[in-house]
Amino acid sequence: MTDFSRYTVSIDYDRRLYKQDVAGSIAHAKMLAKQDIISQDDAAQITQGLKAIEKEIELSSFPWDPALEDLHMNIESRLHQIIGAAAGRLHTARSRNDQVAVDLRLYTKETIKEIAKGLRGVQQALVGLAFRYQTVVMPGYTHLQRAQPVLFPHHMLAYFEMFQRDIGRFQDCYQRTDVMPLGSGALAGVAYQTDREFLAAELGFSRISANSMDAVSDRDFVVEFLAAASVCMMHFSRMSEELILWSTGEFGFIRLSDEFTTGSSIMPQKRNPDFAELARGKTGRVYGDLLGMLTTLKGLPLTYNRDMQEDKEGFFDAADTLSTTLNVFQEMLPGLKLNEERVSSLAGESQMLATDMADYLVAKGMPFREAHGIMRELSRHCDERNISLNDLPVAEYKKLSDLFEQDVYDITAESSAAARDNPGGTAPVRVAAALEEAKRIMEAAPDGF
Ligand code: ARG
């Protein structure tokens, strides 16, 4: 082959759609026979031939020929070699344009289901960690500054929520992918009395496309898949960032298992969180896949244009990147060891309890703004002298308000968390209820669908 003819070839990557292509063709042949467009005998030969081809592909004995450009031409040509003349009838009332559309939709539907399952697995792992460390209080952050104590399981459940929304996004995408385009032909429909509803039922689609021109040129479902994958990777990237920070000597919150860290070739003490770093890094390529697809589509007039062949590599890349990321996190999270002592001692530092001390004054009748001002002053005072609020004698407190009594020292990280007893808050009772709800959600749809 010349370098030029290579330019149009897609067989190196579209062969991944072989199962869907064979299934689509078998359903099509069956429909043609049912409608008396081809004979039952031809349909039977075609079906047999296609099944033989599927086997060959699985056994890696299929003679792929780049000169035939794509998957569809390779399979059709091989069908001729195997069954002879009847093969020529398969492409009646069909075009590669509706054929590739049906293949990619079938593949996307399956991929979405696998991803939803993987996301459930990650949620399971998060809930597992949440139960393991259910009572541990840790520092919660804003601006990456220690802010208020939160329960460790509350932090884990924040990610549960993100992944729950991701599952929802993939489910939405599924609805719009679940549309059967065969029967659209090249662009205008086909000049045969086909039975499109039959095809939809055979192939497991819940409805048929309404407009043949749209059906052959629509790749919105690919864009939506890539968008959902991008948001999901963004979530993994954020979690990775936390795992990386938490594994540093500076934080010292967690230890990842050896399997998911690597040593340095020069510094013997190193335990680098490479898997989390790579998840963060791979997020960039998934965004790239999304941007690539959007850009490919943006100038295309109706209907099919060859540009659209470029939909596949980015799609496969994003799907592969996301599914391996899901596998990694399902394995990596259960091996995470939390340094309970360290996180709870940091959570107990009294500067983190300043809000609670303001609330203490509010409970005794002071307006919140005034209480906030007093605590600000006390906190500054402590900062300057490098002591903590708990080190201040009660007399110092009383200088700013005589509402302060000895019981101000009873405020702890635990009492702070327990006070946040409203829906969505970090009080242990609320977190326990949220964990039950998470379990209920997972049990209702173990595979995310
Ligand atoms: N390989 C093509 C693709 O992936 C299949 C459709 C080709 N259609 C055409 N009219 N050349 O988009």
* CATH superfamily of this structure's domain 349-411: Fumarase/aspartase (C-terminal domain) (1.10.40.30)
pLDDT band at 263 (very low <50, low <70, confident <90, very high): confident
Mean pLDDT score, 273-302: 98
Quick check: CB of 103 below 6 Å from ligand 1?
no
Residue 2 has pLDDT above 90, yes or no: no
Q: Does the annotation count 217 as an active-site position? A: no
> What residues does each domain of the chain span?
9-92, 97-345, 349-411
The reply to whether 97-345 shares the fold of 9-92 is: no
Residue 267 has pLDDT above 90, yes or no: no
Q: Atom 3 (ligand 1): residue with closest C-alpha? A: 309
To test ligand 1's pocket by mutation, which of 18, 97, 107, 219 has the most ligand atoms within 8 angstroms of CB? 97
Tell me the three state secondary structure of residue 150.
Answer: strand
Q: Atom 11 (ligand 1): residue with closest C-alpha? A: 306
To test ligand 1's pocket by mutation, which of 98, 107, 306 has the most ligand atoms within 8 angstroms of CB? 306
Residue 32 has pLDDT above 90, yes or no: yes
Tell me the three state secondary structure of residue 48.
Answer: helix
Please name the helix (run of DSSP H) or strand (run of DSSP E) that holds residue 338, with its range, or none: strand 337-338
pLDDT band at 290 (very low <50, low <70, confident <90, very high): very high
DSSP 268: T
Please name the helix (run of DSSP H) or strand (run of DSSP E) that holds residue 267, with its range, or none: none
Give the number of the atom of ligand 1 that is nearest the alpha carbon of residue 186: 10
Nearest of 109, 102, 106, 72 to residue 182 by alpha carbon: 102
Mean pLDDT score, 9-20: 97
- Cα separation of 371 and 50, whole Å? 78
What is the per-residue pLDDT across 80-104, written as a single tens digit (0 to 9) for each?
Answer: 999 999 999 999 999 999 999 999 9
**CA-angle at 214, arms to 6 and 448, nearest 5°:** 90
Residue 358, token pair as written in the block: 């303001």
What is the per-residue pLDDT across 120-155, written as a single tens digit (0 to 9) for each?
Answer: 999 999 999 999 999 999 999 999 999 999 999 999
Nearest of 416, 432, 379, 333 to residue 137 by alpha carbon: 416
Q: Atom 7 (ligand 1): residue with closest C-alpha? A: 96
pLDDT of residue 373: 97
Q: Kindly name the residue from 5, 39, 206, 264 that is annotated as catalytic.
A: 264
Residue 111, token pair as written in the block: 């991929």
Quick check: CB of 308 below 6 Å from ligand 1?
yes
Reduced 3-state DSSP string for 27-43: HHHHHHHHCCCCCHHHH
For residues 358 and 397, the answer to whether their CB atoms sit within 8 Å is no
* Residue 180 CA to ligand 1 centre (angstroms): 17
What is the per-residue pLDDT across 364-407, written as a single tens digit (0 to 9) for each?
Answer: 999 999 999 999 999 999 999 999 999 999 999 999 999 999 99
Quick check: CB of 219 below 6 Å from ligand 1?
no
DSSP 68-96: G-SHHHHHHHHHHHHHGGGGGGTTTT--H
Q: Which residues pair with 337 in a beta bridge?
A: 255
User: Helices (H) and strands (E) in the chain — how many of each?
Assistant: 18, 6
CATH architecture of 97-345: Up-down Bundle (1.20)
Quick check: CB of 96 below 6 Å from ligand 1?
yes
pLDDT of residue 110: 98
Q: Can you name the CATH fold of 9-92?
A: Fumarase C; Chain B, domain 1 (1.10.275)
Within a 10 A sphere around the Cβ of 302, how many other Cβ atoms? Answer: 11
For residues 427 and 420, the answer to whether their CB atoms sit within 8 Å is yes
Residue 260 has pLDDT above 80, yes or no: yes
Quick check: CB of 10 below 6 Å from ligand 1?
yes
Q: Which residue has the tokens 């794509």?
A: 70
pTM of the complete model beyond 0.85 = yes
Q: Does the annotation count 264 as an active-site position? A: yes
